[in-house]
Amino acid sequence: MDDKICKVRHAKALDYCAKGMRIFFKQHGLDYVKFVREGLTPDELRSTGDAMALKVVELAETERNT
């Protein structure tokens, strides 16, 4: 369901740049194009253990709960 997905808009709201996101996705073996088009589950981003990815998850989950 859409409300359980982290989307690129969440990352942009945190002022993450596209270039940096592409590098991050490549380093972690994640599909950047899928993230832009469809989003990723919170668990997919959490699995990286990256603090910035966790902020995206937190924002998406906060938005979902409001």
What pLDDT, in 10s, does the model give residues 12-22? Answer: 999 999 999 99
Q: How confident is the model at residue 1 (pLDDT cuts 50, 70, 90)?
A: very low
Write out pLDDT tens, residues 5-59.
999 999 999 999 999 999 999 999 999 999 999 999 999 999 999 999 999 999 9
Q: Which long-range contacts (CB under 8 A, 24 or more apart) does 6-12 make?
A: 6/35, 6/39, 6/40, 6/41, 6/42, 6/44, 6/45, 6/56, 6/57, 6/60, 7/35, 7/39, 7/60, 8/35, 8/36, 8/39, 10/56, 10/59, 10/60, 10/63, 11/56
- CB count within 10 Å of CB 7 equals 19
Give the structural domain span for 49: 2-64
What's the whole-number average pLDDT of the chain?
Answer: 92
Number of domains in the chain: 1
